[in-house]
Structure 1
């Protein structure tokens, strides 16, 4: 069993979120972005100045991708929207699926500029969700029958995608075309994560190809090799860790979101940092997320 390395980081934002998720970073403005999905809010933190803003959303947003200096793409339960960064104005870009009981969940931009995005039932009903590939306004369903889609990330050269159904708790790998981000083979399980407490949640892949995964229910970030071997575990002072993102001018810091959803008052008292956003506090060779290509 991998030894847990004690938390050496800090609280980056002490506002507790019901479902903190979907963090990303814009190096052009040195700004971190993340969501409270169930709180219908987009959080913005300018790292150098510490300026924080919270933007109310008219939907359940879960993923943000930079398009250019003035626009962002947001995935939500109502589809994909273009957001004007300065004004917050939203315009529908593409629809994902006409299932009102579903919402968007995990997603990430492939190095080609295309988006992998996922959906799931609002009440987490088994098998209701799917993974999608978005190329401009062309939406292609990749895998269906998914309960809680998570862990979407890509190798630095764009030839491999990783993902999971958290309800199954296997970390999956599939070969993809580096020019399009579309699968070229069948997914294979590289790690069965049912032997220890917690669940595979959001992930990001660093410059060396290591996978950094938020371990929901265990208060940790796990690090895997591309073959699925677990090489490190870092403690996070919130049990329900949800998703990491590389931040900072050199992409050498790791932001980690968390959640307090489904926790009783007693559980929240025992877990006072639940829902807060953290910096892990370890040296990392990260990389910046690609822009979404219209």
Structure 2
């Protein structure tokens, strides 16, 4: 078994459901989905800015024309940070008002890939979508309860899609026409592992996963070999982001959701932001068109 390193506490947040960390230019952005908040953390000055949002928010990504795109419950919105203003630019799952957007990535062509899920984590209503700035397409039609990822390596030839409650990661080939194949099971996990959560790819095509209820984050090589483990003092590790000046610093969001009073007393740092160093740098940042 690969020897585990330890994560370091970076920022007190106390997020109910911290998620979606992403390094953009010189700062880390992340969200607290259930508290309806977007955060920008600048580690150079240890400063953090917060925006409240009108809906559940699953992610933010940078836009090619400047600014950010935020994944709200109803669909992607333009986010003007200076005016704290949000403008909806697409509608998702209007026929499923209990659904929300959960996790996302941007491919080298500037398309946003994202998943939806039942906010109550009960109905199998989560699907994988792709948005190119003009059109929303359904990309994977097998519904699941909680979608996570998606993650695309720099080669842009495959996509990793996490079925969290199914405790598995599905790998799809991306065709030259941008379509996905039927996919194959890339990784499966046992109850002792916790639940695979958010996914992100590094510069070598490795896949980092957070483990909800698993107390750690892990990196898997493209052939599925476990290459790095990071242990946390909190159970619910949601997602890893890679960045910093050399691309070798990682941050991870965590969550208080699902922890009772006894568990919270034993995990006073639950919901906070953590950091650690990695062996393989971040993949290039792509901006949504």
TM-score in same-fold range (> 0.5):
yes
89, 93, 112: which is aligned to 1:115?
112
131, 143, 166: which is aligned to 1:134?
131
5, 15, 18: which is aligned to 2:16?
18
Mapping of residues 35-74 of structure 1, within 5 Å:
35-68=31-64, 70-74=66-70
Mapping of residues 266-281 of structure 1, within 5 Å:
266-281=262-277
- 1:17: how far off? 0.4
Mapping of residues 272-291 of structure 1, within 5 Å:
272-291=268-287
Q: Deviations over 1:144-176 (max 9, x none)?
A: 411100121111110111011111111111111
Q: TM-score, normalised by structure 1?
A: 0.93
Mapping of residues 230-245 of structure 1, within 5 Å:
230-245=226-241
Answering whether residue 259 of structure 2 is matched by residue 259 of structure 1, we say no
Q: Is 1:23–1:244's contact at 8 Å kept on the other side of the alignment? A: yes
Structure 1: state its 5+ residue gaps.
none
Q: TM-score, normalised by structure 2?
A: 0.94
Equivalent position of 1:143 in the other structure: 140
Cα RMSD over matched residues?
1.6
Mapping of residues 137-286 of structure 1, within 5 Å:
137-144=134-141, 145-177=143-175, 181-183=178-180, 185-194=181-190, 196-286=192-282
- 1:281: how far off? 3.2
Q: Is 2:192–2:214's contact at 8 Å kept on the other side of the alignment? A: no
Distance 1:291 1:182 in 2: 20
Distance 1:182 1:93 in 2: 23
Stretch deviating more after TM superposition (93-102 or 82-91) = 82-91
- 1:195: how far off? 6.1
Q: Deviations over 1:163-196 (max 9, x none)?
A: 1111111111111146x6431x221001111264
Distance 1:147 1:221 in 2: 22
Number of equivalenced pairs: 287
Structure 2: state its 5+ residue gaps.
none
Distance 1:60 1:247 in 2: 26
- 1:129: how far off? 1.2
